[in-house]
């Protein structure tokens, strides 16, 4: 019997060493969660009453329990490297269903999808511009190729400047090519429906006491003339809302005709020198994706070369009632099972879910191998002790056989 007991102990110690060896082997695996071998004693089945002197039959491996303790966070600076601090898993599409991982070393595939090292696509809740919210009822791949910023034509501009009250009205008819026919001018850029830029120039001509004309030219073509009137305090009096609309401008590049409205509400007429101030307009050219930002709640924002930004989606997070019931797939990923229960979906930094850190990775929770080495020494001693029992029992059996044979 001692032979079987010692053999079960050797097998148990070997299983323990195998688990520890796997933990150490994955000390550098991103998002890896270590395991622990768990054992139970064995007693033979007896009658109703178990004898007080009954000796057990050895040990058996009952479970290799996963340890989901938090791993250390290491900064990388890569915006597609993601780490979870707290509970939860990233959701990825394997093509045959969803898997769940803590390994956040993502990259972009040729189709523009953000994927794992096994080419499983990272899942997000898509952003709806109509509702200005994320649709948490559906999951989609995080794709960066389709995240382009279309052009927006300029429709309005805001001018903040000062026209000198003591300016002298020109005596000649206005001619944009003759500086003697206007008092001041300011130039700014506008964009058409195709995103092409055009040079717009506002020429200011004083026509009388507290009155001015604004002549707008775009690429040298006239967009008309509008009048401005100021009161005795230097503030704009008319138009009352400060906005004047100019004539449509037609371009030769196939863009839509453009009508510009300029708000002069912040323009003044003081007894100081001309100040061009600032001119802002609401148009922009088309832009290519230049970078992405992912905040602690998992919201993915695309930044474009035209200075614009837009939300793409929000990372989906999953958690489970029984983490020990998850089925390991390798590559630091898991699948749900009947033991784990179905995934409880949500978003980072809410409820039971941790926060997301972009530009960082979660290291293996066995990266500090000190404890693993201590456990390995203990397992090795258990193995040696059971081997010694096996050797001793063999010696006793040999002695007995020799005595009987005499």
CA distances 234 to 272, 292, 300, 329, 366, Å, are 11, 46, 47, 74, 73
Ramachandran area for residue 112 (φ above 0: left; ψ -120 to 50: alpha; else beta): left
pLDDT band at 390 (very low <50, low <70, confident <90, very high): confident
pLDDT, residue 405, reads 65
Residue 278 has pLDDT above 80, yes or no: yes
- Average pLDDT score over residue span 261-290: 93
Mean of pLDDT values over 262-275: 95
Averaged over 194-213, what is the pLDDT? Answer: 96
Residues 194 and 253: beta-carbon distance below 8 Å: yes
In the predicted structure, residue 46 carries a pLDDT above the cut 70: no
**The two structure tokens encoding residue 254:** 């196939």
Backbone angles phi, psi at 97, to 5 degrees: 135, -170
319, 353 in Cβ contact below 8 A? yes
Task: Read off the pLDDT band of 267 (50, 70, 90).
Answer: very high
The DSSP secondary structure of 363-399, one letter per residue, reads PPTT-STHHHHHHHHHHHHHHHHHHHHHHHHHHHHHH
Q: Do 152 and 284 contact (CB within 8 A), yes or no? A: yes
pLDDT at 37: 95
pLDDT over 90 (residue 368): no
DSSP letter for each residue of 316-338: -EEE-S-GGGPEEEETTEEE--T
> Looking at residue 72, what is its pLDDT?
95
> Taking a C-beta distance cutoff of 8 angstroms, is the pair 89, 73 a contact?
no
| Residues written for the chain | 406
* pLDDT tens per residue across span 292-347: 999 999 999 999 998 899 999 999 999 999 999 999 999 899 999 999 999 999 99
Mean of the pLDDT values across residues 367-392?
89
Q: So what's the pLDDT on residue 386?
A: 83
Region 267-275: mean pLDDT is 95
Provide the pLDDT confidence category of residue 119 given band limits of 50, 70 and 90. very high
pLDDT computed for residue 400 by the predictor: 66
Largest CA distance in the chain: 143
| Predicted confidence (pLDDT) per residue in 52-80, tens digit | 667 788 899 999 999 999 999 999 999 99
Give the residues across from 61 on adjacent strands: 39
Helix or strand run (H / E) with residue 300: strand 299-304
pLDDT band at 264 (very low <50, low <70, confident <90, very high): very high
pLDDT tens-digit series, residues 158-187: 999 999 999 999 999 999 999 999 999 999
Residue range 337-361, pLDDT digits in tens: 999 999 999 999 999 999 999 999 9
Which of 20, 15, 9, 7 has its CA nearest to residue 366? 20
Preceding amide of 131 cis, omega within 30: no
- Compute the C-alpha angle 159/164/169, nearest 5°: 105
Helix pair angle (2-25, 370-404), 10° resolution:
160
Average pLDDT over residues 133-138: 95
Q: In the chain, what are the domain boundaries?
A: 2-68+365-404, 73-149+288-362, 156-281
CATH C-level class of 156-281 = mainly beta
Phi/psi at 329 (nearest 5 deg)? -110, -10
């Amino acid at each position: 019997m001692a032979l079987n007991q010692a053999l079960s102990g050797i097998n148990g110690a070997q299983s323990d060493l195998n688990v520890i060896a796997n933990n150490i082997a994955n000390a550098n695996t991103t998002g890896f969660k270590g395991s622990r071998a768990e054992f139970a004693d064995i007693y033979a089945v007896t009658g109703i009453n178990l004898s007080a002197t009954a000796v057990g039959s050895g040990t058996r491996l009952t479970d290799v329990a996963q340890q989901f303790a938090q791993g250390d966070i290491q900064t990388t600076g890569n915006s597609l490297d993601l780490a979870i601090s707290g509970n939860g898993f990233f959701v990825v599409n394997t093509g045959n269903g969803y898997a769940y991982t803590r390994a956040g070393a993502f990259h972009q595939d040729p189709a523009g999808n953000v994927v794992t090292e096994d080419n499983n696509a990272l899942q997000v809740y898509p952003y709806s511009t109509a509702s200005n919210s994320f649709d948490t009822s559906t999951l989609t791949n995080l794709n960066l190729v389709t995240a382009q910023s279309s052009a927006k034509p300029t429709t309005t501009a805001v001018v903040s400047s000062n026209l000198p009250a003591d300016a002298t009205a020109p005596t000649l008819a206005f001619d944009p090519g003759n500086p003697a026919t206007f008092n001041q001018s300011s130039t700014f850029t506008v964009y058409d429906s195709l995103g092409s830029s055009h040079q717009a120039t506002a020429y200011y001509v004083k026509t009388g006491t507290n009155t001015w004309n604004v002549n707008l030219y775009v690429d040298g073509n006239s967009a008309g003339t509008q009048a401005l009137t100021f009161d005795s305090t230097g503030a704009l009096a008319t138009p009352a809302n400060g906005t004047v609309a100019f004539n449509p401008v037609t371009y030769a590049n196939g863009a839509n005709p453009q009508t510009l409205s300029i708000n002069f509400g912040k323009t003044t007429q003081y007894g100081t020198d001309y100040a061009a101030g600032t001119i802002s307009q609401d148009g922009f050219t088309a832009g290519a994706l230049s970078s992405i930002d992912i905040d602690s709640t998992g919201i993915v924002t695309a930044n474009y070369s035209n200075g614009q930004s837009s939300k793409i989606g929000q990372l989906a997070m999953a958690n489970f009632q029984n983490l020990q019931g998850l089925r390991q797939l390798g590559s630091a990923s898991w699948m749900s099972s009947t033991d784990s229960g179905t995934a409880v979906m949500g978003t980072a930094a809410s409820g039971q879910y941790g926060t997301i850190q972009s530009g960082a990775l979660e290291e293996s929770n066995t990266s500090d191998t000190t404890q693993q080495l201590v456990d390995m020494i203990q397992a090795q001693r258990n193995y040696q002790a059971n081997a010694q029992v096996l050797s001793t029992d063999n010696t006793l059996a040999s002695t007995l056989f020799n005595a009987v044979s005499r």
